[in-house]
């Protein structure tokens, strides 16, 4: 969610009237919501509230996954599954900002356009030979997987020796199983990512926030919101995600927030 702070406890880093983005366990489909300071960030003037609502869960997760957990560095390469989705487009923009080459895997030509818009170096349809595209460049350093399911084996085969499989989510609905000889034989790392880990570790949270903020200020991060729907169409918004029709981020617009 994103909006203005209406009240903040004494000693909080935020004050009434601050523009913020936040995440809350109990949901943000409301005109007024509460969130802990640990999952609240100041919102740059470069982003409007609709973009701000797209920030935390997607960009903080992607930054945590790529930089802190996945140790990706400038000049390396990464294949991204679900690349036109919320976390996928965030990962592509962050990669472009950090000098990481990307192969985006998406299911439709329309989604290929979204991945290109997010800065993908190369886009391959999920039904085409994305493993071959990765192997053609000697294998990628990392695979960022938000989809899971039956792609996992070819994801591992897409990695170069010593590569990293970064497990972020299972949008396909299937949690894959792998035989660990795949990991042993090619010295692969399988890296789990759970972003809320950062919320109880202030130093980790600060590194993510500073890293994301820097990329926002450089103009690298600009959330791609293809649908912003009013609250009364919340069911339609959820259906877009469920039916795999969402492009970039789907946002619910409640009432235009006014500064208290």
Ligand X SMILES: NC(=O)c1ccc[n+]([C@@H]2O[C@H](COP(=O)([O-])OP(=O)(O)OC[C@H]3O[C@@H](n4cnc5c(N)ncnc54)[C@H](OP(=O)(O)O)[C@@H]3O)[C@@H](O)[C@H]2O)c1
Binding site for ligand X (CB under 6 A): 57-58, 61, 82, 84-88, 106-107, 111, 126, 146-147, 168-173, 193-195, 241, 244, 246
Q: How far is the CB of 130 from ligand X (least distance, A)?
A: 11
Q: How far is the CB of 219 from ligand X (least distance, A)?
A: 22
Q: How far is the CB of 146 from ligand X (least distance, A)?
A: 4
Q: DSSP states of 224-242 as a string?
A: -EEEEEEGGGHHHHHHHHH
CB-neighbour burial class of residue 102 (10 A; exposed 0-12, middle 13-18, buried 19+): buried
Q: How far is the CB of 48 from ligand X (least distance, A)?
A: 20
Q: How far is the CB of 185 from ligand X (least distance, A)?
A: 27
Q: DSSP states of 56-93 as a string?
A: IIIIIHHHIIIIIIS---TT-EEEEETTTSHHHHHHHH
Between residues 14 and 195, which has the closer beta carbon with respect to ligand X? 195
Between residues 8 and 126, which has the closer beta carbon with respect to ligand X? 126
Between residues 4 and 170, which has the closer beta carbon with respect to ligand X? 170
Between residues 11 and 173, which has the closer beta carbon with respect to ligand X? 173
Where on the phi/psi map is residue 138: left (φ > 0), alpha (ψ -120 to 50), or beta? left
Strands (E), the chain: 2-4, 19-22, 40-42, 77-81, 101-106, 122-125, 140-145, 159-167, 189-192, 225-230, 249-253
Between residues 28 and 126, which has the closer beta carbon with respect to ligand X? 126
């Amino acid at each position: 969610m994103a909006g203005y702070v209406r009240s903040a406890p004494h000693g909080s880093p935020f004050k009434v009237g601050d523009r913020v983005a936040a995440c809350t366990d109990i949901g943000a489909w409301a005109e007024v919501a509460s969130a802990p300071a640990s999952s609240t960030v100041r919102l740059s003037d470069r982003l409007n509230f609709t973009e701000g609502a797209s920030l935390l869960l997607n960009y903080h997760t992607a930054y945590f996954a790529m930089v802190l957990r996945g140790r990706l560095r400038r000049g390396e390469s990464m294949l991204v599954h679900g690349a036109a989705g919320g976390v996928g487009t965030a990962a592509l923009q962050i990669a472009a900002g950090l000098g990481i080459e990307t192969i985006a895997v998406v299911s439709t030509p329309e989604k290929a356009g979204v991945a290109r818009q997010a800065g993908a170096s190369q886009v391959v349809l999920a039904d085409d030979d994305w493993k071959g595209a990765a192997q053609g460049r000697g294998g990628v350093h990392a695979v960022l997987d938000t989809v899971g399911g039956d792609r996992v084996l070819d994801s591992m085969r897409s990695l170069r020796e010593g590569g990293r499989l970064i497990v972020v989510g299972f949008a396909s609905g299937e949690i894959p199983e792998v035989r660990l000889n795949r990991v042993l034989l090619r010295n692969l790392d399988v890296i789990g990512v759970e972003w809320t880990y950062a919320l109880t570790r202030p130093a980790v949270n600060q590194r993510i926030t500073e890293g994301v903020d820097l990329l926002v200020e450089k103009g690298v991060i600009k959330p791609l919101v293809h649908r912003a729907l009013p609250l009364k169409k919340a069911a339609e918004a959820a259906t877009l995600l469920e039916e795999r029709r969402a492009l970039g981020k789907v946002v619910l617009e409640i009432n235009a927030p006014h500064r208290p």
